[in-house]
A and B are shown apart, each in its own frame.
Chain A
């Protein structure tokens, strides 16, 4: 038996093709070095099935298998799906903590403490005014000051309460716009479902759709910021995506099940937004706490008085119910009596002020907890992202090395081709013409 004459040319050609494919892959990696969500790709080279040569040795009769070059098996992306799942879990938690921290920071700045404009200072001014009235019980100016500082205090309560309500309704609006028609959830889900269909077709045609897979993974990352997700890849390469606590999977093959009901424990930004406004949520707690301070203030200030000074039981409705001439320094008819004014001034540091200080402490520690959570999770997410990047990211040094390797490989294959060509030339040109 012998070796087919032109086999060497085919082998050299297969080398040229494979090296070129590998060079192109490295070039593509370099081009996408800074593309968001891109996973580096590698050309998987496989040797061609060898050519069996039954008995190459005349002496022993042993056969051999002659290598027949190389083929590009596939161009695959390098990705660790386990890290993807980890990233998405932590990303949901991070996104929830960030949403909480954003909203609570707003609530905290609405309180405007410590400052000379916050409720604590207004309370101090109010008690000072009562104190001045106790010193000059007949002074109209002192009564005017009590009424005016009272008005200012009530107004500050009203404003804070309305700011908290605004923050609360903005939180609800943000939730609605995310889950609503054309919202992020629907947009991402539709794109994922569409990609599912395309990926299935591509895989069926045995063409690994690396770019589409990358895009789907990137969309899943974005979706994980909105709520907890789990991703299950079906045998047909379509991803089934469960979302938050929704009853049905958000994406099932090419079907999108949306809108659905979510709960406070859905995780992600959406879960956090729901939880903040929920019956036990932080925003609800702050508004209730503020109402408690307002009603305590009204009750304690009104208690020594025959005619109510404050009306309204909640922070939003608190108002001064008397005109300044009706402000009483005393319960008796004596103009110089000041026992009521003294009793009012002695409310300084009392129940209202203490419950307010506790409320400010609560908003502060809520913000701090949310911020600390967000910082910690940011570190975790960065670490996981680094690991992902370590697996899937493009290293320019590596690609440059690959370029050189494959370029040299290409050159060598070309040289093989030349050698084959020269060999055939010897055979064809220099073996001469017989019998002429």
Chain B
């Protein structure tokens, strides 16, 4: 401590102390009002790079979650369409069994054939289902309907797959290759559903004994085979939905833990800062009081 103390020293010390306390108060107010401990990089240089990093991770996770949600919606649309195809296949199978048992006359069979043809159009409409403006059964040729209405049964899509990212480096295939089920129609003789439906309609109209026999034997076998393929496709779509759902759950867990880490670095501890703020306020008013009273006094007050 210095030997002589002059009023100027007391004044400047008091002023410095007031400034220091006021700076601390401003910092605390800033933390309390913004709820953030870091309002500029110099508050915590390493922390700010962590904040940038963690926020980016959070954004990434929420984007992946969006991707997975989108995938689930896509799969739900696909499942509904396949459910409808499955009902058509079952209905055709019933018609086949009825047509094969010989109690119906040719007129009845013709009516059944007409029904089968209408159901065929229905299957193709289901195959042309869109999700968010994209044909979901066309592979990546999402702007092209996979099947035309009418007699042409050729598959117009491609064999590529559509997938959704669900995490860094991990993605889930969400497209269903419907040509495995529907095929390219009668002309191709591939035994797929459209071929089967066309054959069934033809056999129903045919009227010969061979045609009737085919209904109960080869046609029935074919439709059973088709239904089995459809079930497999539905199972694949279901498991993709499960994978997406699992990814969302894991993703949300990660989001929770990263948000926690972020908040540890970034968020104001209200209790601690409030107490610090109260202390600073007390110090500030004490310094003010001291400055206002002590510096006023001098020997002059006591000389007459």
Contacts and interface: CB of A to CB of B under 8 A. Distances in A.
Interface in A109-161: 109, 111, 113-114, 120, 123-124, 127-128, 131, 134-139
Contact of A357 (B43, B49, B66, B298): B49
A368 B2 contact: no
A55 B132 CA distance: 131
A278 to B, nearest CB: 22
Contact of B298 (A34, A330, A338, A400): A400
A382 interface: yes
Contacts, number: 181
B134 to A, nearest CB: 6
Interface stretch (B57-65, B112-120, B276-284): B57-65
B52 A135 contact: no
Interface in B156-214: 158, 160, 162, 164-165, 168-169, 171
Interface string B20-45: 00000000000000001010111111
B298 A137 contact: no
A113 B8 contact: no
Q: Which of A139, A337, A387, A391 has the largest count of B CB atoms less than 10 A from its CB?
A: A337
Contacts of B67: 131, 134-135
Contacts of B56: 120, 123-124, 348-349, 353
Contacts of B141: 334-336
B48 A114 contact: yes
Contacts of A394: 6, 8
Given A131-B66, A345-B165, A336 B5 contact: no
A27 to B, nearest CB: 14
Contacts of A385: 12
A136 B162 CA distance: 11
A270 to B, nearest CB: 24
Interface string A185-208: 000000000000000000000000
Interface stretch (A89-97, A296-304, A359-367, A428-436): A359-367
B143 to A, nearest CB: 4
Given A335-B143, A336-B134, A349-B53, A400 B300 contact: yes
Contacts of A33: 7-8
Contacts of B44: 364
Contacts of A113: 40-41, 48, 52
Nearest to A365: B45
Interface string B129-141: 0001110001111
A219 B43 CA distance: 36
B271 interface: no
B16 interface: yes
Contacts of B169: 346
B63 A361 contact: no
Given A353-B56, A386-B9, A364 B303 contact: no
User: Interface size for chain B: under 10, 10 to 19, 20 to 34, or 35 or more residues?
Assistant: 35 or more
Nearest to A361: B49
Nearest to B8: A393
Contacts of A367: 40-42
A353 B46 CA distance: 15
A371 B116 CA distance: 84
Interface in B216-262: none
A172 B276 CA distance: 41
A389 interface: yes
A141 to B, nearest CB: 10
Contacts of A139: 132-133
Interface in A332-348: 332, 334-338, 342, 345-346, 348
A390 interface: yes
B229 to A, nearest CB: 23
A364 B42 CA distance: 4
Nearest to A363: B41
A53 interface: no
B121 interface: no
Contacts of B134: 136, 138, 336
B126 interface: no
Interface of A: 33-34, 105, 108-109, 111, 113-114, 120, 123-124, 127-128, 131, 134-139, 330, 332, 334-338, 342, 345-346, 348-349, 353-354, 356-358, 360-365, 367-368, 371, 382, 385-387, 389-391, 393-398, 400-401, 404
8 contacts: A33-B8, A124-B56, A138-B143, A332-B140, A354-B53, A362-B45, A390-B6, A390-B9
Given A365-B41, A397-B299, 6 more contacts: A114-B36, A342-B165, A349-B56, A361-B46, A365-B42, A389-B9
List the 9 closest A-B pairs by CB distance, nearest first: A364-B41, A336-B142, A364-B45, A390-B2, A336-B140, A334-B140, A393-B6, A367-B42, A365-B45
